[in-house]
Amino acid sequence: MGDSTVTPLEGREQALPQPVAAGSRERRFARLRSPRRPRLWFEILLIAVSYWTYSLIRNAVPEQRSEALRNADWIWRMEHHLGLAFEQSVNHAVNSVTWLIVGMNYYYATLHFIITLTVLVWLYRSHPGRYAATRLVLFATTAVALVGYYFYPLAPPRLLTGGHFVDTVMVHQTWGSMASGDLKHMSNQYAAMPSMHIGWSLWCGLTIFALAKLPWVRILGLLYPAATLLVIVATANHFWLDAVGGIICLAFGFTVAALWYGTLPYALPRAVPARGRGGPLLPTKA
């Protein structure tokens, strides 16, 4: 008889396709990175637990008063050296207009929650394909901010020794800051760097500008972080350099999302791509 065509036992491993397991892992990884339709109950739970965890960790960071005041003095001197120490002038000027500063106190206390949640809901309803990636930017931004709070305690300008800033919440008896008045024991007063008021508002503004259709809505999106910068300075809750810290954290958040999804969140399809039967996600129009 001729040569046997049966594969010897010792050669069977070589005869089997080796890339199958690797390909399966790659497909699983690709599915994890692909946009999926968000589930409402999961998103509500995730956001609630994440914010609770963020607040817990932020407020658990030791309130290192002496170091926080030294850091505030250093930043104030640095801004004078740069010729950009304008916080005190803005604080005093706006404080002289009672209705304006009271409005800013309430703006500071509420809008960063209201608008951020509103944008998340809008993304969930109108841009489900971009929702998870854009939410990842916000979460990564907030997570890295905790590192700043831990390693760089910083007192806000209103607590600066000899800074002559006006604590507008105390003076006007408004509920405008969790770190002023009777509420100061509920929040770490020395977690001012970076400013998440700026990090969150800029995230909202860029998202609205990139995805909204109406021109006037897009303009409002850009005005929102600019107004927030004015508010955090006028109420003496932050130095402008805290805002720079918030911008750096947001840049980190966008980098994380871009590396995970392979592109910026706004470049993903608006709708969740459809899946082929047993196959990968199929592209859809934006």
Cross-strand pairs, 118: none
Cross-strand pairs, 281: 275
Task: Enter the DSSP assignment of 191.
Answer: B
| Selection from 123, 116, 107 nearest residue 54 by Cα | 116
* Calpha distance 58→230 (Å, rounded): 24
> Which residues, 6+ apart, have CB-to-CB distance to 25 below 8 Å?
none
pLDDT of residue 176: 54
* Calpha distance 12→209 (Å, rounded): 59
pLDDT in tens, 102-151: 999 999 999 999 999 999 999 999 999 999 999 999 999 999 999 999 89
pLDDT in tens, 149-179: 989 999 999 998 777 899 998 888 887 555 5
Q: Per residue of the chain (286 residues), what is the pLDDT tens digit? A: 445 455 454 544 444 455 555 566 666 555 656 666 777 778 888 888 887 887 777 776 666 888 999 999 999 999 999 999 999 999 999 999 999 999 999 999 999 999 999 999 999 999 999 999 999 999 999 999 999 998 999 999 999 877 789 999 888 888 755 555 555 555 678 889 999 999 999 999 999 999 999 999 999 999 999 999 999 999 999 999 999 999 999 999 999 999 999 999 999 999 876 654 444 444 444 4
* Calpha distance 121→185 (Å, rounded): 31
pLDDT of residue 274: 62
Q: What pTM, to 2 d.p., does this model score?
A: 0.81
Per-residue tokens: 148:
């700043």
